[in-house]
Amino acid sequence: MNTYYQVPLEISKQEDGLWRVEAPSLQGCFVDEPTLAEALYQIHEVIAMLIDILQEEGRPLPPEVQVRETLPLLATIPVALEEIEFCRVAPEGKHVPASAAALAKKQQSRAQSARRKHGV
């Protein structure tokens, strides 16, 4: 059976533009990353390492860290749309916003570069 740890997080954006994700109940557990997705990915790994260290040393988990053996867990997550690259295809005859059109062009350019790089 798997064990899951539910850890409260604080998420903010720093003056330098980096996202800070912090687990205040785990001393010194924070990351600063340029995108929210990177920060969430990194904090997941840092939390896992800290929990492993606490267990290895026989120290108790802070009471804010809840141990669960069943799913689902309830979580809320912020979404920063400006950081997510996606492109919707507009229905025929509908206008595609300039930002979506620019993104589609950017994605096509990346795909072409990748094909050239790999000789495809």
Q: Which amino acid is at 94?
A: K
Residues 9-25: tens digit of each pLDDT: 999 999 999 999 999 99
| Per-residue pLDDT, 74 | 86
When comparing pLDDT for 72 and 40, which is higher?
40
Alpha-carbon Rg for the chain in angstroms: 20
Residues 29-64: tens digit of each pLDDT: 999 999 999 999 999 999 999 999 999 999 999 999
Q: Residue 6 in contact with residue 66, Cβ under 8 Å?
A: yes
Binned at pLDDT 50, 70 and 90, residue 75 comes out as: confident
Q: Which amino acid is at 110?
A: R
When comparing pLDDT for 72 and 10, which is higher?
10
| C-beta atoms surrounding 23 within 10 Å | 22
